[in-house]
Amino acid sequence: METESKQKLTNFKVGSLPTLFYIPDFITDTHQTLLLNNIYGAPSSKWKLLKNRRLQNWGGVVHEKGLLPQTLPPWLTNFTQKISEESGLFPSPINHVLINEYQPNQGIMPHQDGPSYFPVVAILSLGSPVVMDFTPHARLKLDSKDSNGEITEIAKDKWLDDHRPFSIILMPRSLLIFKDQAYSDYLHGIKDCAVHGYDGAVNETEVLKHNESDRHLFGTEDALETVGKEEYKNISRTSNRISLTCRLVPKVHKNLFRF
């Protein structure tokens, strides 16, 4: 069953990396509404306010020694189980979910997920579409030095060929999964601006196929725009985006703080 799931997942590979998967319409509009109702129906104390967004933490506290667990509510496990079963990439059930709310001009700085997590991340997007940017980790350039400790032009060119930055459009109700090289060698982030350019995104063709049929879900202003030439392909973010970042913390401790 796991092998069959992985084989199906290959149909959704996008870009040049072998470990980046984009699944449009992963959930229905009804399921999206159900999730949003539960997220916004949570107690106000569940929200943590950050500098440029707010978030909810579900599943427990992630510590350098592992997870101090809290049981995920059924309205979340219904979807984390679906992700696990249909991807076949998680060795045990997903046990941690971060829910981020982004207003139209908010994003997140380029970052890499910490070592406490199993190296697979699944991001379910709700609400407004956005563009996520992947940039190669700076340490990789240092690894391309020659025996004299210098970065030669040949090594630099090879590094640039092997590690090009790229972007991916995240439409509402879509699922993004990345692992291995896409997880370890790249930072991922979202620009702090209300207009995102998507020309050249690795899944541009796939997304445009769904754009017209999905337009009614988030309004015409939040749809993908093509104005004149190719370089004017934009997303105007006029509503909030909610993301569910679903991960597995392999080490779970019932009483973490005794260590």
pLDDT at 192: 95
Boundaries of domain holding 25: 2-258
* Residue 227: C-alpha distances to residues 31, 192, 197, 218, 234 (Å): 32, 22, 11, 19, 8
pLDDT at 115: 87
pLDDT at 225: 64
pLDDT at 227: 47
Amino acid at 174: S
Question: How many contiguous H segments (helices) and E segments (strands) does the chain have?
Answer: 7, 16
* Residue 14: C-alpha distances to residues 28, 100, 166, 210 (Å): 22, 24, 11, 15
- List the chain residues with pLDDT less than 70: 1-3, 139-162, 210-231, 255-259
pLDDT at 224: 66
pLDDT at 207: 81
Count of structural domains, the chain: 1
Distance CA 132, CA 154 (A): 30
Rounded to the nearest 5°, which phi and psi values hold at 232?
-105, 25
| CATH number of residue 93's parent domain | 2.60.120.590
pLDDT at 220: 43
pLDDT at 161: 56
What DSSP line would sit under 14-68, residue for residue?
-SSSTTEEEETT-S-HHHHHHHHHHHHTS-GGGEEE-SS-EEEEESEEEETTEEE
Distance CA 132, CA 120 (A): 17
Dihedral angle sign, alpha carbons of residues 94, 15, 29, 9: negative
CB 5 within 8 A of CB 86: yes
Residue 203 burial class via C-beta count within 10 angstroms: exposed 0-12, middle 13-18, buried 19 and up: buried
pTM for this model (two decimals): 0.85
pLDDT at 259: 44
